[in-house]
Structure 1
Amino acid sequence: MTSNVDALFARNGFAADRVFTPQGDYGRYQCTTPCTPTTFDSRPLVARLLAAYDPATGAVAGPLPSCPNCGGEVEINVRIGPEFVDAPYLPAGRRLQDWLGTAPAGTRLLIIEFGAGFNTPGVIRWPGEHLTRRIPHARLVRVNPTHPETPADLAGRTLSARVGADDLLDALTVPHPAPDPTVAP
């Protein structure tokens, strides 16, 4: 589960259907009305706009993009208001809930949360806390340079790291020395 809308997980080898992205995807667009629960691949639209872009004036020649269904205005498919079309993301959310619901008693779960603050705490932050409360052997690691605090009722089951994710991951990376060419493998 990620609040990132950049498809970075899928681009780096994670199966796209196994990544729950409740905030949407920059790679999709939707009708602003919305007239349909369908979202559309933005790559052809972006390619057309880039081809019509005049770098000297900053203008785009030709008609503005429109909804393929109703012809109305379109916007990027990210959660910015009540018109957000979340239908494409719900199946992955249901698969995650099903997986969590079928965990046998005694299952140990480690929730690692990177940078989830209070902009949209109901997307990552609070669900992680809820899972930690619900699953007896769950632990929560909250990595956040400004808001690493965890609820008092989860004391002993959480770890707060007041650091940026990049700094923590760099610190955890163990450099591997170059092989010694004088030693046989």
Structure 2
Amino acid sequence: MFLRRPISTFTGDYLEKIEKLKQEIETADAIVIGAGAGLSASAGMSYSGERFEKNFADFQEKYGIQDMYSGGFYPYDTLEEYWAWWSRHILINRYEVGVGKPYRDLLELVKKKDYFVLTTNVDHQFQMAGFDKERLFYTQGDYGLWQCSKPCHQKTYDNEKTVRQMVLQQKEMKIPTELIPKCPVCGAPMTMNLRVDGTFVEDEGWHAAAGCYNEFIRQHKGEKVLFLELGVGANTPVIIKYPFWRMTVENPKAVYACVNYGEAFCPGEIEERSICLNMDIQKFLEDIL
């Protein structure tokens, strides 16, 4: 319904917008945070450049892979090589990475408010930063979980211990065959619990979080709600961006805010109740705090 009208990319006075958004945060009955990959990128967790080259130079040289994102989709010849890639990827992005400052600052900004986080990020940063687990919904999975590749059942499994073994024991871009994870039910190879196709497992934890999110939205229907979107790109707008726009349209008391470097915009229907900041998320959080 939004594409029939022009989408605003207004900028306006920066300090005025910061003050306005600060006021909206303070007066909101509830804050719904929608977080995408741009939030982790602002924390320095880049999937390309020096960070990629430091950890995956051998894969880059052999296959011409240029970033961690595309490397996760590469059709490796063997499971030994597939898990050599993924074990490194998981280790540096989930287990051996510090808490990003933007996440700590964001918690400081909203910790006294009634908030809920909806995120497509899979790096566990929100929990590591101290956000209430009962107020988080990771819609697209978690680097720390595996599932059956078929899948034969709707359950996920923690992977930290085996991932660390894979990284320590891999040689020539391959892990030992005996470390290849197998489904404990059917024996098929395990795979990442990431939503890339129709085989994604939505386990009990996923459904519980979805229920908490839907209940939060229901409880605050018609109230003064701030929909705060941070770093959400165009890959999966139907999860955060479009629903935030729709709920702002439906609730005349709601306000939509978007902070995203290069992609801060809103539809014309809600322009008067929107605050769009085309800037780095970390700088925004530092300034508003």
TM-score (norm 1): 0.84
Residues 52 and 62 in structure 1, CA contact (< 8 A), matched pair in contact too: no
1:133-174 deviation digits (Å, cap 9, x = unpaired):
23221111011112211011112111111112122123334x
1:110 paired residue number: 226
Mapping 1:64-143, distance limit 5 Å: 64-87=180-203, 88-103=205-220, 105=222, 107-143=223-259
Amino acid in structure 2 at the alignment position of 1:49: M
2:19 paired residue number: none
| SS of residue matched to 2:119 | coil
TM-score (norm 2): 0.55
| Structure with more contact order per residue of length (Cα contacts < 8 Å, sep ≥ 6) | 2
1:3-61 deviation digits (Å, cap 9, x = unpaired):
1111111111122232011011111011111111101111122133134223xx23312
| SS of residue matched to 2:243 | helix
1:169 matches 2:169: no
| SS of residue matched to 1:155 | helix
Aligned counterpart for 1:154 among listed residues 270, 273, 279:
270
Aligned counterpart for 1:59 among listed residues 174, 186, 209:
174
1:80-123 deviation digits (Å, cap 9, x = unpaired):
11111123312112111112212264x21111111111111111
Please tell me whether Structure 1 or Structure 2 has the larger radius of gyration of its CA atoms.
1
Structure 1 residues 25 and 60: CA distance shift in structure 2, 3 A: same
Q: Measure the CA separation in 2 of the matches of 1:104 and 1:154.
A: 17
1:67-86 deviation digits (Å, cap 9, x = unpaired):
12211122111111111112
Which structure shows the higher helix fraction? 2
Residues 134 and 212 in structure 2, CA contact (< 8 A), matched pair in contact too: no
Residues 261 and 278 in structure 2, CA contact (< 8 A), matched pair in contact too: yes
| SS of residue matched to 2:254 | strand
| SS of residue matched to 1:40 | strand
2:147 paired residue number: 30
| SS of residue matched to 2:263 | coil
Residues matched between the structures, number: 170
Unaligned runs of 5+ in 1: 174-185
Q: Measure the CA separation in 2 of the matches of 1:114 and 1:129.
A: 14
| SS of residue matched to 1:77 | strand
Q: Percent identity among equivalent residues?
A: 28
